[in-house]
Amino acid sequence: MVREKKPRIVVIGGGTGMPVLLRGLKDMPIELTVLVTVADDGGSSGRLREEMAMPAPGDIRNVIAALSDVEPSLIELFQHRFSSGNGLSGHSMGNLLLAAMTTIKGDFNNGIKEISRIFNVKGKIFPISNDNLLLHAEMKDGTIVSGESSIPLENKQIKRVFLSPEPLKPLPNTIKAIENADLVVISPGSLYTSILPNLIIPRVEQAIRDTKAKVVYVCNVMTQEGETTGYTAADHVEALTDHIGQGTIDAVVVNNRPIAKKVKDVYAEENAKPVVYDTDRLLKMGLDVIEGDIVDDSKMMLRHDNEKIAKLLYSLVQKND
């Protein structure tokens, strides 16, 4: 009996948008691989980076939590953040476990693999690099800002982002996953500080250009102060292609459900507004525009609806069969 080959979906990103997609995708009949940013330098992640010279664990921790299949109390423990304790305050238990396993296993990737096994993770999780990378931004006024957490605080228009130290070395498994994928998904999230740090590593960039898979960007629903103030959907895509080249993205997923005024008012306090979906401009860029009712605002917080977005993405690989 021949086993039916499952479609291979690779999701690239970080931040708060990525785990939402993954919670839906983990129950789909797919081979799932997740490539995660390690450029975070704030909070617990930043302290562990400095003290242990390791890549940032925070985004990885959230992905493990989203994809794990264990008792809810274990996830609660893994995501617990200490509010007091000399040296412990502000640290997340999961970050500490990842740091400990990195030491035991000798490197970050092997540490993630072991924690993923313990937490019964569905799919494979790879850091985009095993190196302790630092993110920099060149602003449109020519100034350079260093550090992922410092970039949005400048509240200036960003021209480009780049990483150090060079040469930038992705994990070989990340390149292989992109090359062998049936669908590559660029997740929603902080455009310049969570998404682009994965894509601007030269060999990753090349693999995305060369892959036979459809490359789909799930566009953010709201703008973000200090990163994408005033950005339309086409502006988001343009920022991506300015960094990784025209023609690298085949399709963009946008929400077409109106957002309730009371929810918009909450976001307005953070100077965030709904992203305008300028469909004509997206089509002129040669993109397939995939529209859908894919958000959940039931808790006064806008997030992609994990089931709806997972079904939509899965339908794209079914069409490819």
Question: Residue 53 domain-assigned?
Answer: yes
Are residues 141 and 232 located together in one domain of the fold? yes
Are residues 175 and 292 located together in one domain of the fold? yes
Which DSSP string do the residues of 150-202 spell out, in sequence order?
Answer: TTGGG---EEEEEEESSSP-B-HHHHHHHHT-SEEEEPPS-IIIIIHHHHTSH
Can you give the pLDDT at residue 320? 55
Helix (H, G, I), strand (E, B) or coil at 122: coil
* In the predicted structure, residue 300 carries a pLDDT above the cut 90: no
Indicate the pLDDT class of residue 321, thresholds 50, 70 and 90. Answer: low
Are residues 90 and 223 located together in one domain of the fold? no
Which DSSP string do the residues of 135-148 spell out, in sequence order?
Answer: EEEEETTS-EEEST
Looking at 82-143, which runs of residues are DSSP E strands? 124-127, 134-139
pLDDT digit string (tens) for 116-135? 999 999 999 999 999 989 99
Strands 158-164 and 214-218: unpaired
Are residues 166 and 62 located together in one domain of the fold? no
Question: Residue 17 domain-assigned?
Answer: yes
Which structure tokens are listed for 12? Answer: 């690239």
Are residues 177 and 164 located together in one domain of the fold? yes
Question: Residue 60 domain-assigned?
Answer: yes
Question: Residue 1 domain-assigned?
Answer: no
Taking residues 272-294, what's their average pLDDT?
93
**34 membership: H or E segment, kind and range:** strand 31-36
pLDDT digit string (tens) for 14-26? 988 899 999 999 9
Question: Residue 24 domain-assigned?
Answer: yes
User: What are the Cα distances from residue 176, in Å, to 113, 172, 179, 199, 257?
Assistant: 17, 6, 5, 15, 36
Are residues 23 and 62 located together in one domain of the fold? no
| Last residue within a domain, chosen from 68, 91, 125 | 125
pLDDT digit string (tens) for 167-199? 999 999 999 999 999 999 999 999 999 999 999
CATH number at residue 168: 3.40.50.10680
* In the predicted structure, residue 67 carries a pLDDT above the cut 90: yes
What is the residue whose two structure tokens read 């740090």? 197
* In the predicted structure, residue 109 carries a pLDDT above the cut 70: yes
Are residues 63 and 115 located together in one domain of the fold? yes
Are residues 133 and 200 located together in one domain of the fold? yes
Are residues 176 and 157 located together in one domain of the fold? yes
Which DSSP string do the residues of 57-75 spell out, in sequence order?
Answer: -HHHHHHHHHHB-S-HHHH
Cβ neighbours around 3 below 10 Å, total = 5
Are residues 147 and 270 located together in one domain of the fold? yes
Are residues 304 and 185 located together in one domain of the fold? yes
Domain count for the chain: 2
Segments forming the whole domain that contains residue 62: 41-125
Are residues 200 and 253 located together in one domain of the fold? yes
| pTM, 2 dp | 0.94
| Last residue within a domain, chosen from 125, 148, 183 | 125
| Last residue within a domain, chosen from 62, 97, 125 | 125
